[in-house]
Structure 1
Amino acid sequence: MDTSSWTFDPSVGELLVQTHAAGPAARLGHDLTIVMEDWVAELSWSDERPSVADVTVQVASLSVLRGDGGVKSLSGPEKALVRSNALKALDAKRHPTIGFRCDDVAATDDGYRLAGSLTIHGVTRPCEVAVRVTDVGDRWHLTCESVVRQSDFGVTPYSLMFGSLKVADEVTVSFTATRPH
């Protein structure tokens, strides 16, 4: 690994959000896979080890990849409606970015533990994530998965039918990227 800085973006990685249907009518809803299409992660190195990480995500870049489950598959217009509802829930006009700032990096057996702060919907909370780093010959493969509770950040999960069908409060955020040696 080098001793400078690394930049990751959608050209070398993927940032996904998984949601799940909840409530008494959950079987009618879809478990969604959402991709964030505009983001950048900067990783700074000091003394041949990572020292600072900054991630910025443009909320308006949210796009619905697919919906699993439900009574029928999601059509294009339904995906657009889901996107619109998600942008409203996140109040994307007032809070156009999501950010993670890490300034405490510790080595683990299979990568690093990053501790810092996560800002969503204008609310900042402590956050810790484990990043797995795998040497796959000519490149590094990085993966990370973390559960985020929307209500911790003042986001009210979307619901309809008087709450009988809603998006579960907890969503799973996953990150994958590759970088040449």
Structure 2
Amino acid sequence: MAVAAGEYEIGSRHAGRLLLRTFRQGVAAKAGHDLVIEATEWDGHVHVPADPAQQPSVSVRVDLGLLKVLEGTGGVKPLSEGDKQQIQQTMRKVLQVDRDPHVLFTSTGVDVQDGAAVVAGELTLAGQTHPLSLDVRQRNDNTIAGTATVVQSQWGIRPYTGFFGALKLRDAVDIEFTAWLQSG
């Protein structure tokens, strides 16, 4: 992975995408949907030092109040626009958006090997901060993509349940992102 030294802005304003993927489980899983949710408002900063002895750094802020359900797969019936709105309201409650409206990620170290990097850092979500690692690959000179998994209960978030506990959201939420590095 060889990103040129410099300061870069990333985020939704720079054509970046940040997707969350949730999965259902439980005896009533067939009634629910696996969801693709987009963070429509997020921004960040990437610093790549000219001195290879120095560590690159990454910081990202995501507005939880602007999460949008893009699609739901599975389920007994397709998701309607009303269903998507209801899910978004439920997400706001589960994620405690009124109390902590943003997710923050700040890197603590970057390990680059064979065209990829593991970015270790601290994720602040729902008022709690815990370690999180991002797996990152460079797609071309100015595009990076990556993944991570957030286990909600590690941040004190109780995954959604419905139908008296028969339908459950898997505790682990998969994160996917693509960022275009815009010189800052």
The count of residues paired between Structure 1 and Structure 2 equals 178
Cα offset, 1:140, TM superposition:
2.8
Higher relative contact order (Cα pairs below 8 Å, separated by 6+ residues): 2
TM-score (norm. length: structure 2): 0.91
CA 1:86 to 1:4, structure 2 compared with 1: closer, same or farther past 3 Å?
A: same
1:109 aligned to which of 110, 114, 137? 114
Q: Which amino acid aligns with 1:173?
A: I
Given that residues 16 and 36 in structure 1 are in contact (C-alpha distance below 8 angstroms), is that contact kept between their aligned partners in structure 2? yes
1:12 has 2:23 as partner: no
Q: How far apart, in 2, do the equivalents of 1:85 and 1:102 lie? A: 30
CA-based RMSD: 1.6
Select the residue among 57, 78, 95 that pairs with 2:83.
78
Between the aligned partners of 1:20 and 1:48, the Cα distance in structure 2 is 42
- Residue in 2 that maps onto 1:87: 92
Aligned pair 1:150/2:155, yes or no? Answer: no
Three-state SS of the structure 2 residue aligned to 1:80 is helix
2: distance between equivalents of 1:178 and 1:96?
A: 25
Q: 2:68 aligned with 1:63, yes or no?
A: yes
Q: 1:179 and 1:4, CA in 2 relative to 1: closer, same or farther beyond 3 A?
A: closer
Residues 12, 179 of structure 1: 8 Å contact kept = no
1:166 paired residue number: 168
- Equivalent residue number for residue 52 of structure 1: 57
2: CA distance between counterparts of 1:179 and 1:53?
Answer: 12
Instruction: Verify the 8 A CA contact 1:110 1:134 in the aligned structure 2.
Output: no
Aligned residue runs from structure 1 range 107-146, under 5 A: 107-135=112-140, 139-146=141-148
The answer on whether the counterparts of 1:140 and 1:179 sit within 8 Å (CA) in structure 2 is yes
- Report SS of the residue matched to 2:164: coil
Rounded to whole Å, the distance in 1 between the matches of 2:25 and 2:81 is 22
8 A Cα contact 2:111 2:117, kept in partner: yes
Cα distance in 2 for partners of 1:150, 1:72 equals 27
Preserved contact between residue 42 and residue 53 of structure 1 (Cα < 8 Å): yes
**Matched AA of 1:29:** G
CA distance in 1, matches of 2:9, 2:51: 16
Kindly report structure 1 stretches of 4+ aligned residues shifted beyond 4 Å: none
Q: Deviations over 1:63-122 (max 9, x none)?
A: 000100001111011100000001100000101100110031121112222111111111
Is there any run of 5+ residues in structure 1 with no aligned partner, and where? none
Secondary structure of residue in 1 paired with 2:100: coil
Provide structure 2 residue ranges, at least 5 long, that are not aligned to the other structure.
Answer: none
